[in-house]
Chains A and B, each alone.
Chain A
Amino acid sequence: MAMINQEVVLKNAWITHSQFMDIVAISQMTPGPIAINAATFIGYQKGGFLGSVISTLGVIFPSLIVMTLITITYIKLKNQPWFKNIFRKLRLLSLGLIAAAFIMIAGDAFRDLFSVLVFTASFIASWKFKLNPFYLLIGAAVIGIALG
């Protein structure tokens, strides 16, 4: 997010800072990672439909290259002990990154009493009753509209 702000708002001045904050907020509410959402949105603003297509393809380009290479390498080398070791370490790191993501948004869960209740209910629904996240989110949205 910081990088998107740097490039788009500061370096290229394609949108203003407050427009950027709006995009971030909208991105929280819509499907898709923020990078894709920001690319599609700004691409459209600056270059219409073609702009949005090009930006979106552009933002996934590095992923396509790096991830494809890693996947091919993985399939070839996955039984090598030294390669397996890398992934053993990466799994632990990955756990830490998920925890970091949780830490960064944990504030949202405790903003007010309503949020705390929804958080608790969602946690129990998912943990104890293994409620499918699809339905859980739909349910949460309905509750928000009904009781928010």
Chain B
Amino acid sequence: MKMILKIFITFFKIGAFTIGGAYAMIPLIKREVCQKNNWLTEDEFLDGLSAAQSCPGPIAINLSIYIGFHLAKGKGLATAVLATILPSFITILIIAILFQQFAEATLVQKAFHSLRPAVVALIAVPLIQMSRQSGLTLSSFWFPLSVAVLVGFLRISPVYLILITIAFAVYQGLKKQK
């Protein structure tokens, strides 16, 4: 019971602060999951992150499914997902009810003028850190770089790249076994 409560609180926190996308929160989630609570090893976390990005659905949700299941199977999964959704569900519901007044509040606009570049920085930092940790060599660098260009500039859907990557990896794996 204590674990379930902990899962709920942790993911509620995470859900409440993923503003402008889950990417900026990744180091925080990693800190909570790997260092603070010792729930997963770093490798398990990074694999979960990769899987979360490759599956349909928002990363935050996918990650909560992965981590929640690891911790307490079905119950853990359900708790983590619910806790992640709740903050945004409640917030949006309130906004939907008061729609006009919210969007035009100057205070809010001012806050977000500052929040947007802050979020960009929060994505840049872990990006650089993760690049270092992934042991990128000169020869493997081309892969994430081309993905970044294809998706970021050419706006090609990541889905194709994901499927190609998995197919190639499986093919490679099978070839080695021969």
Contacts and interface: CB of A to CB of B under 8 A. Distances in A.
Interface of A: 22, 25-26, 28-37, 40-41, 44-45, 49, 52, 56, 59-60, 62-64, 66-68, 70-72, 74-75, 78, 81-83, 85-106, 108-111, 114-116, 118-120, 122-123, 126-127, 132-134, 136-137, 140-145, 147-148
B110 A148 contact: yes
B37 interface: no
Contact of B147 (A41, A96, A105, A144): A96
Given A95-B130, A133-B122, A140-B118, 7 more contacts: A32-B85, A40-B96, A63-B58, A85-B173, A90-B166, A92-B136, A137-B17
Contact of B166 (A44, A56, A86): A86
B151 A86 contact: no
A59 B70 CA distance: 23
Contacts of A72: 69
A140 B17 contact: no
27 contacts: A31-B91, A33-B60, A35-B57, A36-B61, A37-B92, A49-B93, A63-B55, A64-B81, A67-B52, A68-B69, A82-B177, A90-B51, A91-B47, A91-B50, A93-B50, A95-B147, A100-B147, A100-B148, A101-B123, A106-B120, A123-B121, A133-B24, A137-B17, A137-B119, A140-B115, A141-B111, A144-B110
